[in-house]
Structure 1
Amino acid sequence: MAPALATNPDTTPAMPPPPGQVSNLVDPPSQGYATVIAVVLYMVIATPCVVARLYTRAVVHKKLWWDDWSSVLALIGLYGFCCIPLIGLQYGFGVDEWNVSQSHLQEFNKLFSIIEIVARISIFFTKLSILLLYLRYFCPSGARRGWIFYSTLFVIAFNALYCIALVLVVRLQCVGQPQAVVQAGTCINHYLVLVTASAINVVTDLLILLIPLIAVWHLRLPQRRKLGLLLVFAVGGLGCLASVARLAYQVPEASNKNQTQILTLVSLLALAEHVIGIVVGCMPLWPALYRHLFPRRHSSLQSPQSGSLWKRTIGHVTVRRRPDRWGSSSALVTETERGVGEEREMERVGDKDGTSEAIKERPSGSTAK
């Protein structure tokens, strides 16, 4: 018998088309334009936020810390993450799998394996920048270390170990597999990696959201001011929603064989989650940047009657490095407008259960005991 003719992977569809459709390997319908627009939009949103953060820290605060450098690494990772789908447009990103050749599907799988690694590392630095920001705000050097400090360190360590574990899983799944399977990139269980990553992301995002909310909740502040601080940190809930949305999309689509389309959308959802994390990590610096860029407008809004919504709600919150009796957080200072000439100092003071805080007010210029 004559040997069966080998199929050409460059001209053979990666999967049979659905009934009533024909494979098109020459000029297939594609979501390429939408992918390009989304990727460019993500970079346009994230870049100014990080630049504004660095400018505020370097020029206004005169000091950069590890959370700022982590945001830079997160932005670099975002650029790398965004470039991979753009490269993958020629290999099936945004194209139905029956319109993708077998050879292009192999390249698609290899690129998506790279995405899984780059995304995990870059998202780790995004979360690290937020968690280090918590340490800088709530746990400065000299303060006794309490639950906020150790909770934040736990989440940092958990994210680091999880990132390392996922990268090793992606890199080692093909060890010992036949060469043909390795070259095809099919030795990696993308579904298992993605669902696991999404589920853990939901948990870590929830922890990152709860740490500052619990800390602020125990501040003895005027209700409006406490609500304002809670709203600022609650913006981090957008990251949780993005993680939940990605997980909710992936689970029902696990049995869908049109993986080139599914994984493309999963990549865009992961990018959205990444960008939200970068923006959330930069938001606490925006008021200081506004006061620096528009000092006259800021000073014109300093009377209690005409104060801005931001000032009326949460005031001007800064951090004073001073150990407190509560155990973990620095003293937070709320400064009212200079025209009023009064400084309100909010010090974290432990009560009987060690969880609540009191406000201590004194006129500016007085000497602390």
Structure 2
Amino acid sequence: MENVDIHTTPALVPPPGITPNLQNPYSLERYIIATSVICLFLATSATLARTFTKAYILKKMQLEDYSLIFSTSGFAAFTAVIVAAGEDGAGRHQWNVSIAMTQRIGMYANVVEILYPPLMFAAKFAVLVQIQRIFTAHKKDFIYWSVLVLIAANIVMYATIFFVFIFACNPREKIWMPHLAGKCLSVNAAIIATGVMNLVSDCTILALPLMGISELQMPLKKKIGAGAVFATGVL
């Protein structure tokens, strides 16, 4: 690395017949920005609508409301980091990105990985507590205890993910500068494990309200309608 200018050297050798373009290459940046803005707009709009209803109409803010506000606020920071990574070359072919840009993208990626666990836990915590309030207001049944177990499991899961990505390498700089001497955990394995645990967690949280609706004393048609509302969580 001593004899290489990391600001002008492509981060990857291009395929045969392809010339690296570090100045004005094709990029997915505009799609990254558009997707990020749309997702942030939808999440913020939903949170603002809920907060307005709870704070000004019902005048009853609860723990899950503050958890949701925290999650949405953090999602704004999460989105800002993704957009910043796009400005530094995320969304380009790697041979159209300099080594220096790739290092910054790697640093942004690690920041996103660290932001993700507490924000996702806060969002799921809000959903779980809301499910508990709706379906177990006067009894401690299967759903009540399931919610507590899921909250505890998600705390353990996301805390583990959080610290794995903070201490992925020793020294930390090796995360985005792999040529440095040191040791790293398998980040790919951590990402795959995160995806699997998220899928299990999401499916379980989705199933709880459907189970609660199935036990309600109401006509089947109304059960299907109520279940459809909660089933939008599939999205």
Stretches of structure 2 that go unaligned for 5 or more consecutive residues are none
1:19 counterpart SS class: coil
- Displacement of 1:119 in angstroms is 1.7
Change (3 A) 1:164 1:6: same
* Alpha-carbon distance between aligned partners in 1 of 2:62 and 2:36, rounded to the nearest angstrom: 29
The one-letter code matched in structure 2 to 1:228 is G
Are residues 1:18 and 2:18 paired? no
Give me the CA root mean square deviation: 1.9
Larger relative helix fraction: 2
Change (3 A) 1:185 1:153: farther
Tell which deviates more after alignment, 87-96 or 103-112: 87-96
TM-score (norm 2): 0.92
The one-letter code matched in structure 2 to 1:100 is V
Are residues 1:88 and 2:85 paired? yes
* Alpha-carbon distance between aligned partners in 2 of 1:211 and 1:6, rounded to the nearest angstrom: 59
The one-letter code matched in structure 2 to 1:174 is C
How big is each residue's C-alpha offset from its partner over 1:300-355, in whole Å with a ceiling of 9 and x where there is no partner?
A: xxxxxxxxxxxxxxxxxxxxxxxxxxxxxxxxxxxxxxxxxxxxxxxxxxxxxxxx
Q: 1:55 aligns with which of 44, 52, 56?
A: 52
* Alpha-carbon distance between aligned partners in 1 of 2:210 and 2:139, rounded to the nearest angstrom: 20
Change (3 A) 1:5 1:168: closer
Are residues 1:226 and 2:220 paired? no
Change (3 A) 1:224 1:183: closer
Are residues 1:154 and 2:170 paired? no
* Alpha-carbon distance between aligned partners in 2 of 1:166 and 1:11, rounded to the nearest angstrom: 35
* Alpha-carbon distance between aligned partners in 1 of 2:105 and 2:78, rounded to the nearest angstrom: 15
Change (3 A) 1:53 1:27: same
* Alpha-carbon distance between aligned partners in 1 of 2:67 and 2:230, rounded to the nearest angstrom: 19
Structure 2 matches for 1:234-253, cutoff 5 A? 234-238=231-235
Change (3 A) 1:93 1:190: farther
- Displacement of 1:184 in angstroms is 0.5
Structure 2 matches for 1:166-205, cutoff 5 A? 166-175=161-170, 177=171, 181=174, 184=177, 187=184, 189-205=186-202
Mapped contact 2:89–2:102 kept (Cα < 8 A): yes
2:227 counterpart SS class: helix
Mapped contact 1:174–1:182 kept (Cα < 8 A): yes
1:184 counterpart SS class: coil
Change (3 A) 1:189 1:137: same
Structure 2 matches for 1:105-124, cutoff 5 A? 105-124=102-121
Q: 1:75 aligns with which of 65, 72, 79?
A: 72
* Alpha-carbon distance between aligned partners in 2 of 1:83 and 1:227, rounded to the nearest angstrom: 39
Equivalent position of 2:42 in the other structure: 45
Structure 2 matches for 1:314-333, cutoff 5 A? none
| Structure with max Cα Rg | 1
How big is each residue's C-alpha offset from its partner over 1:112-149, in whole Å with a ceiling of 9 and x where there is no partner?
A: 01111112221111111100111221233xx3312111
TM-score (norm 1): 0.59
Tell which deviates more after alignment, 4-13 or 216-225: 4-13
How big is each residue's C-alpha offset from its partner over 1:2-26, in whole Å with a ceiling of 9 and x where there is no partner?
A: xx97111111111111122111112
Mapped contact 1:174–1:188 kept (Cα < 8 A): yes
Percent identity between matched residues is 28
* Alpha-carbon distance between aligned partners in 1 of 2:76 and 2:49, rounded to the nearest angstrom: 17
Change (3 A) 1:55 1:223: same
Mapped contact 2:67–2:125 kept (Cα < 8 A): yes
* Alpha-carbon distance between aligned partners in 1 of 2:61 and 2:2, rounded to the nearest angstrom: 64
Tell which deviates more after alignment, 198-207 or 117-126: 117-126
Q: What is the aligned residue count?
A: 231
Mapped contact 2:168–2:187 kept (Cα < 8 A): no
Mapped contact 1:109–1:185 kept (Cα < 8 A): no
1:236 counterpart SS class: helix
- Displacement of 1:162 in angstroms is 0.8
Stretches of structure 1 that go unaligned for 5 or more consecutive residues are 239-369
